[in-house]
Amino acid sequence: MTTDTTTQRDRYAVIGNPIAHSKSPLIHARFAEQTGEPVEYGRLLAPVDQFVSHVRAFIAEGGRGMNVTVPFKLDAHAFATTLSPRAAAAGAVNTLRFEKDGGVYGDNTDGFGLVRDIEVNLGVSLKGARVLLLGAGGAARGVVLPMLERKPQSLTIVNRTASKAEALVAQFAGAASDAACRLTGGSAQAIETGAYDVIVNATASSLDASLPECDDGAFGAGTLAYDMMYGAQPTVFMQHASQLGARAADGLGMLVEQAAESFFVWRGVRPDGAPVLAALREMLRAPQSA
């Protein structure tokens, strides 16, 4: 009995600039294998001023959907004809689904990925928790609504430029009220006394090995200190948190879980992120060949 290898596969891709480093093709290949979905997934490098033309060409070639990474999440938000509530709240899109009628559905799965990694993979419930979010840029804005939906006791947003944090507090005041969550924010002075249950670093500080502004008293033995960045070694933020007695985690699980949610948006099938996360973790730990 021979296996039919000519099955028509639906085309997906991740678009960005740069893009060669992206682990999305590996992740989605594992998801396709796991679920049996006929998915083919690649990378698409686009010049920074040619997002729309590259997406339209991909659609014309039969593309069914895309993941969107830096620096195109705002372009994708503008390109979509319909937005999910979480994409509208985030003001950015990382997942596009191309409909048969020509419509373009824009979603943002980043916050879902963060919440799922914290609650499912790391086993920390956000319900009733005191949460501190460091940063008020695009990465932070994309996770506020999904975190509020988990009904934490309080959420404090801190940013070097206080007005940016205050703007997020104003934007999400209604959602916080619905969740019965106390939402506050500002500069580092807005950090409240006592250790937080969860601290999320949504700043880019780990890229240049610096620390975000944060009172050491915010970290305790019961704190999960989560950095959205990841690498082969713990970030400076993770090392600092560990020295203060907190449990530290990186953003690799968020990467996998946001991808799993994108896969679900496209295919209506939810893959299991855990084995893919374990495989990626092993690859990161493996010594790099010369």
What is the per-residue pLDDT for 6?
58
β-strands 10-16, 39-45: how paired? parallel
On whether 137 is known to bind a ligand per the annotation, the reply is yes
What is the per-residue pLDDT for 2?
43
User: Could you tell me the sign of the dihedral formed by the alpha carbons of 103, 25, 267, 146, in that order?
Assistant: negative
On whether 258 is known to bind a ligand per the annotation, the reply is yes
User: Which residue carries 């689904």 as its tokens?
Assistant: 97
| Distance between CA atoms of residues 95 and 112, nearest Å | 12
Residues 25, 238, 126: CA angle, nearest 5 degrees: 80
| Active site annotation includes 127 | no
Domains, the chain, ordered by start: 10-108 (3.40.50.10860), 111-250 (3.40.50.720)
What is the per-residue pLDDT for 290?
39
What is the mean pLDDT, run by run of 10 residues, along the chain of 290 residues? Answer: 65 97 96 98 98 98 96 96 96 97 97 97 98 95 96 98 97 97 97 97 90 96 96 94 98 98 98 96 74
What is the per-residue pLDDT for 288?
57
What is the per-residue pLDDT for 285?
85
| Prediction pTM value | 0.93
On whether 251 is known to bind a ligand per the annotation, the reply is yes
Q: Which of 73, 100, 127, 151 is an active site residue? A: 73
Residue 135 CA: distances (Å) to CA of 115, 143, 212, 285: 17, 11, 8, 28
Of the candidates 85, 103, 105, the residue with the CA atom closest to the CA atom of residue 95: 105
| Distance between CA atoms of residues 139 and 174, nearest Å | 20
What is the per-residue pLDDT for 1?
42
On whether 205 is known to bind a ligand per the annotation, the reply is no
